[in-house]
Amino acid sequence: MTPLSVGVPTAGASATSNPNQTVFQRPSKSITIKFGSQLFRLQTLELIRQRGIARAADNRELASELAKQCRQAVKEDLKERRAAVMIEAAEAGKGIR
């Protein structure tokens, strides 16, 4: 039985090695990060961080209140982002799909 792997064999792997133990090196993917189009505001990220701290401290009442605030802030952020995308698409003369 031969192993099913995707990638390029490394220099150390040979055809005479154990067929059940093949070493493969995956091709690296380039990662791009867009800093100009931030998904959440810093205030929202801070709320999420504080909620995590409250959960870790097992403070359920505070975590629950912060969760409500997080949900509301995320909704507002996504609404603003959606509006910005629509404006950008209208300026470019394209649809959003």
Give the residue extent of every domain in the chain: 42-92
The model's pLDDT over 4-58, given as tens digits with 9 standing for 90+, comes to 544 445 555 555 555 555 555 555 554 444 445 578 889 999 999 999 999 999 9
The DSSP element (H or E) to which 58 belongs, if any, is: none
Longest dimension (CA), the chain: 62
pTM > 0.85: no
Specify the DSSP class assigned to residue 77. Answer: H
Q: What is the 3-state secondary structure (H, E, C) of 21-40?
A: CCCEECCCCCCCCCCCCCCC
